[in-house]
Structure formats: C-alpha cells, structure tokens
C-alpha cells in the first residue's frame, strides 16, 4: 500500500459503488464493450513498453509477459 492509499478512506466510495450495483444502475453493455476495446488498443499500442516494464520490475521473460 502506498502512502497515498493509506491516507484515503475508501469505505464511502465502496459503499456508493455497491449501492449503484445493487440498484442496477450500471453502465450499458455498449459502453462496457467500448471500454474493453479501448483497453485492448492501449495494450496493443504499448506492448513493447509493457513487456519491458514486466521484465524490469518482475524479471518476466517476453513469452511470459
């Protein structure tokens, strides 16, 4: 846990998220699909940097990354 994380009270946010989910007011499927596509683009466009970070930080070989 970072110093920033230890200074933030996540309980109110977690409660709000649980209430939102319980009420069924989550984002529409189309929005979720677009978010996943954007995440995939991010990973594909930055694969070299991500693999380098995995190698540097965790000692992971390219194949494992």
Is residue 61 within 8 A of residue 55, CB to CB? The reply is yes
Element (H, E) at 37: helix 29-45
Q: Quick one: pLDDT at residue 50?
A: 92
The secondary structure element, H or E, covering residue 44 is helix 29-45
pLDDT attached to residue 3:
60
What is the pLDDT tens value at each position of the chain, 65 positions in all? 566 556 788 999 999 989 988 998 888 999 999 999 999 999 999 999 999 999 999 888 888 87
- pTM (2 d.p.): 0.57
Residue 52 has φ and ψ, to the nearest 5°, of -65, -40
pLDDT at position 41, please?
A: 97
C-alpha count within 13 angstroms, C-beta hemisphere, residue 6: 3
Taking the domains of the chain in order of start, what are their residue ranges? 27-65
In the chain the beta strands, taken as DSSP E runs, fall at none
């Amino acid at each position: 846990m970072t110093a920033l994380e230890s200074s933030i009270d996540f309980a109110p946010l977690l409660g709000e998220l649980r209430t939102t989910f319980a009420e069924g007011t989550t984002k529409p499927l189309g929005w979720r699909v677009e978010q996943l596509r954007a995440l995939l683009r991010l990973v594909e466009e930055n694969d070299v940097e991500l693999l380098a970070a995995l190698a540097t930080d965790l000692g992971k070989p390219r194949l494992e990354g």
